[in-house]
Chain A
Amino acid sequence: MPEALAQALINGVIAGTILAVPALGFTAIFAVLNYPNFAIGALATVGAYAGWVGNTALGLPMVAALALAFSATAVAGLVVQWAAVKPLESAGALMMAIASLAAGLVLENALRFGFGNDLRGYDLPLLRDWRFGEFRVGPQQVQNFALALAAMGMLWAFLRYSRTGRAMRAVADNRDLALLRGVDPARVAAVTVAVGAGLAGMGGMLVGLDTSVDPLVGTRLVLSIFAAAVLGGLGSIPGAVAGAIAIGVAEEVAVLAFNPAYRLVVGFVVILAVLTLRPAGLFGARAS
């Protein structure tokens, strides 16, 4: 059994790294705009379709398709923000959250209207896993893992070194202080939504590469995304990454430990346990 456990750990880390990409998007929007964006699942679906169109209809290579997924979803995220969420800014975080939930339903059905319910697959060959003794790792998993890491690296560099990125962090840390320092809040909010939604779209495409694309591909992820973000501490960027990897591992180990059909319950129990024992999550400090 120790080999089985180790293999489940490997699978979990890879699954968690991919989950980290949309979880980062979710938590970034929460950090700066202060509301949970429940359209995140539908936005991931938008990215999956955008990448699929880029890959199969336009013949784009993987990295270009991923860039397309990012940009298309960034636009979709901005539309959701401007059309549904922003008008409710004064009504509070909960109203914005509910508006985003409704916007997600609209996005999902807009995709269904355009593409139907049929399953779509990327135009890519599938490779057998590499074997290392008892263990196995898939070349595509490694590639997706690397792409996810690269996306996170770019986000980190953006937050650390660019003017806008630093402004985003300033707003997330202390909104009032940031305003005093002359940060333009509207601009920061727009960039955050674009980047956050774009990351969700990239995550959707990475998952779509591994599964197939249909109008529910992103919706199936939302609970894991929330669990990851809460576990890491809502609004914490490193927390989202750690939380996603932890959730990824927990979901795989749970397959061995008990009934695999209970994956969603694992996510729920993790959320409940974290909030009861350490509500700030692994990294967060702003829960209450």
Chain B
Amino acid sequence: MTLFTRRATLAAGSALLAAPHAVRAQGAPIRLGTLTPLTGAGGPYGPVMANCVRAVITEVNAAGGVLGRQIQLVSEDDQTNPEAGLRSARKLIDVDRVAAIMGTWASSVTTAVAPLCWESRTFLATVSGADSITALPHNGWLVRTQPNTTLQGRKFGEYAIELGARRAFFMAPQTPFTQSQFTNMKTAMERAGGTAELLVYDASKPSLRTEVDQALRFRPDIIVMGGYTPDTTVLLRDIFRAGYTGRKLAFAYSVNQQMLSALPNDVTEGIHTLAPSPAENSGGFARVKRIVGNDNPDPYTCQVYDHVNLVLMAMAAGRDGTGQAIRDSIRSVSQGGGEKVDNALDGLRAIAAGRKVDYDGASGPCDFTDAGDISDCQFRYEQVRAGRQTLLRIA
């Protein structure tokens, strides 16, 4: 976009703000924003998320947009820092006047920008994991597609037991969900007669040999890894070197395509991963694979794909390109029965024809509780075999 057209659209946008609703529907573009980490610790995740949203919007624009209006995407960087994130969010809300902000990643950034969103009637869709986020007094202005730690921790514990493990050693850096993830996992393990131990390491340490020695002294039959891709890479190398051959379990967002191509196959062989997932035959996951161009789309990318599809359809269902419409209508397109869709193109067509839709996305069925948490989700159980994720089952 050139500076001139940018100024022109800004001027047009502000002129139209004053105009009545009917005039605006004539075709001024609707703005949406992504706020993902492009620099800092979240850097490995944010760029592909922003690209995925852009791809979906390009497709929808080519098919005529939403409510006859084109969608404009503004992608900002939160620098994995709440202070920078707050400034970016202010700009998205006050200058670009986006209807929704999608893809906030770090829990701290989400917590910092959430009040701003609900005060300014901007919808917020996040992938952050801290349980405290949906407990904020957001009044429906926020949804989160990442399963909370109560659910995830329990699933980890139950799956460890199912794999035949009784002694789990959980290794993670300090994150907002480390403690509760571990507590819930431990409870699930103890219920089945197992036991679990936690070690919080420093994610910036270049070698975790002594930490792995500590883990092995516990004689674990499963090591559970709760970090992100860069530190889990270090951890896996040292687990391999230590000669540990027992089971390994991790989040799918850490054992992703980047890691599988950065590490030799025998280091990653046999790792079990869990990720929130839609039903087996859902087309959303296949679409994300196509967009990102590999077979292992990151769970965060799948979730942000769902954010943008839901937001687009909610605006159509609410017949308005505003945050208010998204907040009021998102549950009418995400749940409650109707025509099953897995992408906004089909969904927008059905909504235009007056039919009710029920979106099942790439990260799960995307049905939300009143607090904004997903009410139910299946998990995809995968195992790394010869450097590739192999689907074991979805349950």
A touches B in complex, CB < 8 A: yes
Q: Does A59 contact B (CB under 8 A)?
A: no
What is the bound-complex CA distance between A165 and B139, given in angstroms? 69
Q: Does B209 contact A (CB under 8 A)?
A: yes
Report B32-55 residues with CB < 8 Å from chain A CB: 38-39, 41, 43-44, 46-47
Q: Does A11 contact B (CB under 8 A)?
A: yes
Question: Nearest CB to that of B261 among chain A residues?
Answer: A121
Q: Does B217 contact A (CB under 8 A)?
A: yes
Pair B233/A261 contact, Cβ less than 8 Å? no
Pair B240/A215 contact, Cβ less than 8 Å? no
Complex interface: chain B residues within 8 A of A140 (CB): 241
Pair A126/B267 contact, Cβ less than 8 Å? yes
| CB contact between B242 and one of A119, A136, A255, A264 (< 8 Å): that residue | A136
| CB contact between B206 and one of A129, A221, A255 (< 8 Å): that residue | A221
> How many interface contacts (CB-CB < 8 Å) are there between A and B?
118
Q: Does A234 contact B (CB under 8 A)?
A: no
Complex interface: chain B residues within 8 A of A82 (CB): none
Question: Nearest CB to that of A265 among chain B residues?
Answer: B202
| CB contact between A126 and one of B201, B210, B237 (< 8 Å): that residue | B237
Q: Does B263 contact A (CB under 8 A)?
A: yes
Q: Does B375 contact A (CB under 8 A)?
A: no
CB contact under 8 A between A127 and B199, given known A210-B206, A260-B211: no
Question: Nearest CB to that of A138 among chain B residues?
Answer: B241
**Chain B proximity of A16: nearest CB distance (Å):** 11
Q: Does B229 contact A (CB under 8 A)?
A: yes
Report A33-83 residues with CB < 8 Å from chain B CB: none
Q: Does B194 contact A (CB under 8 A)?
A: no
CB contact under 8 A between A8 and B264, given known A128-B240, A212-B230: no
Pair B210/A252 contact, Cβ less than 8 Å? yes
Complex interface: chain B residues within 8 A of A116 (CB): 47
The count of chain A contact residues (Cβ–Cβ below 8 Å) is: 44
Pair A118/B202 contact, Cβ less than 8 Å? no
Complex interface: chain B residues within 8 A of A125 (CB): 264, 266
Pair B230/A119 contact, Cβ less than 8 Å? yes
The count of chain B contact residues (Cβ–Cβ below 8 Å) is: 40
CB contact under 8 A between A212 and B207, given known A117-B47, A119-B44, A256-B214: no
Report A115-159 residues with CB < 8 Å from chain B CB: 116-121, 124-129, 131, 136, 138, 140
Pair B241/A112 contact, Cβ less than 8 Å? no
Complex interface: chain B residues within 8 A of A128 (CB): 240-241, 243
Question: Nearest CB to that of B199 among chain A residues?
Answer: A260
**Chain A proximity of B387: nearest CB distance (Å):** 11
Complex interface: chain A residues within 8 A of B200 (CB): 259-261
Complex interface: chain A residues within 8 A of B199 (CB): 260
Pair A4/B264 contact, Cβ less than 8 Å? no
CB contact under 8 A between A261 and B262, given known A118-B44, A119-B44: no
Pair B230/A214 contact, Cβ less than 8 Å? yes
Question: Nearest CB to that of B200 among chain A residues?
Answer: A261
What is the bound-complex CA distance between A9 and B258, given in angstroms? 33
| CB contact between B210 and one of A8, A112, A119, A129 (< 8 Å): that residue | A8
Pair A117/B43 contact, Cβ less than 8 Å? yes
Pair A260/B201 contact, Cβ less than 8 Å? yes
| CB contact between A119 and one of B207, B211, B237, B259 (< 8 Å): that residue | B259
CB contact under 8 A between A121 and B263, given known A207-B206, A212-B233, A255-B214: yes
Complex interface: chain A residues within 8 A of B14 (CB): none
What is the bound-complex CA distance between A264 and B203, given in angstroms? 11
Q: Does B370 contact A (CB under 8 A)?
A: no
Q: Beyond A18-B206, A119-B233: 8 further Cβ-contacts under 8 Å? A: A109-B39, A112-B39, A119-B230, A125-B266, A128-B241, A138-B241, A210-B206, A251-B205
